[in-house]
Amino acid sequence: MTEPAAARKSRSVAATSPTPAVSEDVRPAGSPSRRALVHERWCDNRHVSKKSTLLVVIMIAALCQARASAWGDRGHAIVSRAAIRALPLSVPLFLARQIDWIGSRSVLADTWRAPSEPFAKAAEDPNHVWYTEQFAFLRQIPRSRDEFVLAVYDEHRRLRDTDPARAALTNVHYTGTLPYAVVEGYERLKVAFRMWREQRAQQKDTTFIEQDAAFYVGWLSHYIADGAQPLHSTIHHDGWVGDNPQGFTRDGAIHWLFENTFVDLIGLTEADIESRISPRAQQIADPFATILAHVDRAHTRVAQVYELERRKALEDRSSREARELVYTCTADAATLLRDLIYTAWVTSAVQVPSYVPDDPTNDPRNPRYNPATGAAPPLPPPASTPR
């Protein structure tokens, strides 16, 4: 069985930001707030030509046709935009200037899941889910994607003769790999921030690395938002399966009804969740453990989604309880995204060698080396305890 959720509570420490590089992107005290600056940038963007606007609309429409299930355009965009607006001013403002780009990229990961691109779909699908019940056999979640895949495959092999039906669903497509996708995206962002610092120090043009960082934020935000959607954390993702004493719906339409139809019905906005995002950004001590706790919280809300559907609350825009659930889930996602961006920025100040001739993680002499994966798994931070 997995460890109780209370024991997996995220561990974060108050952030101490390093002195940022001298830049027009870092505003001194007394400057306009980030929210004001973001609004100013939005107003500037309204002057784009009608021709360009039409092109964007056509592109978004094409993307929507190829999308698979997720929060929907509105939910994903709100999460990413609210997170950017909540960043402290110690984070360079080039992200705020690209808030529209980040919001548009927040839905991109779903476009890689169409049947017309089977290689991309096969690799991408598991990154959007984390079906908690499917890996209850694990006493501890490995801190390595490869070791998790192998552990699930070992369980598949153990079951395939005695319980072939269960074995058929014991694989990464029916467990998911969402926490690994999040922490990998977080590390990509940290590298981009580190490169930005280096290029600024060398007085080089940072235009392209800023674009990279903004893209990584949008990409990362997608998985974090999916992790906050309760139905992305359970085998009951598209209708209740198995024993059903409470008589919950078995109709898969509940998934889209909650995360898209109802979100559009209430017209979710950034203002709806801004007050629910913790006012102070936190430096996260162990991103992986915190991501696991994030999905665990979502999992505790699965039955609530089904109860709301049974009472027709997801069809009633005036339902306070249904609104509160959407606000709670999306604010959770925006808070975690904001804190991971902030943590990536702070920790990117630590200089590391770009190349180590004898990389100990890939060295068979490393005592933690796993010959089945060809690497030693990542270590938890010294002050944290693995899940």
pLDDT band at 219 (very low <50, low <70, confident <90, very high): very high
What is the pTM assigned to this prediction? 0.81
User: CB neighbours (10 Å) of residue 113?
Assistant: 20
- The whole-number average pLDDT for the span 249-272 is 97
Q: Return the pLDDT at 34.
A: 54
SS (H, E, C) 153-167: HHHHHHHCCCCHHHH
> For the chain, what is the mean pLDDT?
85
Q: Return the pLDDT at 353.
A: 72
Pairing of strands 282-284, 12-14: antiparallel
Q: Return the pLDDT at 362.
A: 83
Residue 208 confidence (pLDDT) above 90 = yes
Q: How far apart are CA 379 and CA 387, in angstroms?
A: 12
Residue 261 confidence (pLDDT) above 80 = yes
| Structural domains in the chain plus CATH codes | 5-131+176-352 (1.10.575)
Residue 33 confidence (pLDDT) above 90 = no
Do 104 and 77 form a contact (C-beta atoms < 8 A)? Answer: yes
pLDDT digits (tens, 9 = 90+) for 301-314: 999 999 999 999 99
Provide, for the chain, the percentages of residues in helix, strand and coil under a 3-state DSSP scheme, each rounded to the nearest 5. 55, 5, 40
DSSP 186-248: HHHHHHHHHHHHHHHHTT---HHHHHHHHHHHHHHHHHHHHHHSGGGSSTTBTB--S--TT--
DSSP 10-61: --EEE--PPPPPS-TTSPPTTSPPHHHHHHHHHHHHTTS-HHHHHHHHHHHH
Which of these, 328, 101, 95, 288, lies nearest to 193 by C-alpha position? Answer: 95
Q: Return the pLDDT at 35.
A: 52
Q: 3-state class of 275 per DSSP?
A: coil
Q: 3-state class of 266 per DSSP?
A: helix
Do 367 and 377 form a contact (C-beta atoms < 8 A)? Answer: no
